[in-house]
Amino acid sequence: MKFLFVGLLVATMALAAKPAAKPRRLIVWSIDGFAAGYLSHPEFLRLPVWQRLMKRAQVFDSVETTYPAVTYPAHTTMVTGVPPAVHGLRSNHPVDPFNLSKGAWTWYLQDVAAKTIWDIARTQNRRVANLMWPVTMTETARIRYHLPQFDRAKGPEEVKLMRVLSTPGLHREIEKHTGIALTEYSSDVDRFKAAQYIWQTKKPDIMYFYEPGLDSLEHAQGAYTPAAFAHLAALGGQIEAMLKLNAKRRDTSILIVSDHGFMTFKGKCYPNVILQKLGFVDPAKKIWDYWFDTAGGVARLVDNNSKFEFDHKAAKKEIEAACPTIVYVDKTHEDFKLLRSQYSANAAAFLVSRERVILNASLAGTAFDPEATGHTHGFLPEREDMKTVALLFGPVRRPGIKIRHVADVFKATCQLAALKCPVQKSAATAKKAP
């Protein structure tokens, strides 16, 4: 069995096109979970707002995402132009076998090993606004108008936390003028009102804006449901409102992007149960030598500087016997080099789901649950159900903008915002950390 080879993202790491002399303004607007399949779905095509928008947009359908096809790695690739194997974000969650981080996500920008757009823009005296883009927990001075994505509490305590983490005074200012106290639990409606306020009053050169509502609905109910189409209709209304706000400007573009598609899984594999059986994980002593860091339909084997040699033959036999359609990929497999170049440069091995079985890192009571079902992503990015979209709105059509992969968003941003963007690091320099 051979996975479709997608190659290294060489083009996206090249020097971006020479910018025009006059700076331009850009909104990079992420709608999480906007699967490519929506664009051809009959229900979507019947939505009046999207009928109008599709006539105005440069449409990039069937956009391929990252290995793995999950939110944080994909969004980090969009702002760096390099794959997870290079920028270092290989999952939505840190490697944490015994939950010492209490359910943390990979929030922190210090874990990103590649240069980001806001770092590039800052050196060119361009002002960036960030409204809760993933993986933006960093010093507030790094991004001019900064509201990071972070979640540690609900209610008033979460509001207090966001005030501390954001650009001094910005969170309270937005609340004063819009009535919205932004947190991770804010609706897409409230996020949009805050985005309008920032765009109009702060006038950033580039604004990154993230809306998670569609993805949340899809995880709960699945993609292509009445609720999903209703939400897309509302988002389309937001896009039209922002286009109207910028209608008289000839220097402004809006780039709608997304991170992955969606599918319904059937069956759940727990590979770390097998590692526990083989003696590589000891929950009682909270010791682990090796661990499968899972991300939907793929996983990477992490070596915790173990003094023990890993038994690939035994692991492969046990996992493939217990979990139907899961493929064990070690250095003898033809796709090992591809996964190392794109997903994780220092993984000892990988697991790949060929069909609909999902991988879960928990130490459950059994290695496989055939009845488990739900809605998710994180499978091989070349699968049609994992592909996503991008749409470009601007005063003129830009034939030079090509988005075939989420990494192309980086180069497109440099072109649209007239930034001089340097060549990024190669896969050989990927960060070597679990």
Residues 163 and 27 in one domain: yes
Domain end residue (candidates: 360, 376, 392): 376
Q: Is residue 1 part of a domain?
A: no
CATH code of 348's domain: 3.30.1360
Inside any domain, residue 153: yes
Residues 241 and 293 in one domain: no
Q: Is 434 within the bounds of a domain?
A: no
* pLDDT tens digits for range 17-75: 444 446 699 999 999 999 999 999 999 999 999 999 999 999 999 999 999 999 999 99
pLDDT tens track for 243-254: 999 998 889 999
Neighbours of 124 (CB within 10 A): 14
What's the CA gap between 98 and 277, in Å, rounded?
Answer: 16
Residue 19, preceding peptide bond in cis (omega within 30° of 0): no
**Structure-block tokens of residue 271:** 């590979």
pLDDT at 428: 41
Whether residues 407 and 347 share a domain: the answer is no
Q: Are residues 120 and 105 in the same domain?
A: yes
- In this structure, what token pair is assigned to residue 321? 């016997």
Residues 72-125 have pLDDT tens digits of: 999 999 999 999 999 999 999 999 999 999 999 999 999 999 999 999 999 999
Same domain, 86 and 174: yes
Q: Do 18 and 50 lie in a common domain? A: yes
d(CA 234, CA 232): 5
In a domain, 138, yes or no: yes
Number of domains comprising the chain: 2
**83 & 190 share domain:** yes
Residue 231 covered by a domain = yes
Asked if 343 and 337 touch (Cβ cutoff 8 Å), the reply is no
Phi, psi of 13, rounded to the nearest 5 degrees: -95, 0
Q: Which amino acid is at 379?
A: F
My answer on whether 17 and 130 are in the same domain is yes
Domain co-membership, 287 together with 177: no
Co-location of 307 and 328 in the same domain: yes
Residue 426: left if φ>0, alpha if ψ -120 to 50, beta else—which one?
A: beta
Range of the domain at 102: 11-262+382-429
- Low-confidence spans in the chain with pLDDT less than 70: 1-23, 425-434
- Do 162 and 256 lie in a common domain? yes
Examine the domain organization and report whether 50 and 81 are in the same domain.
yes
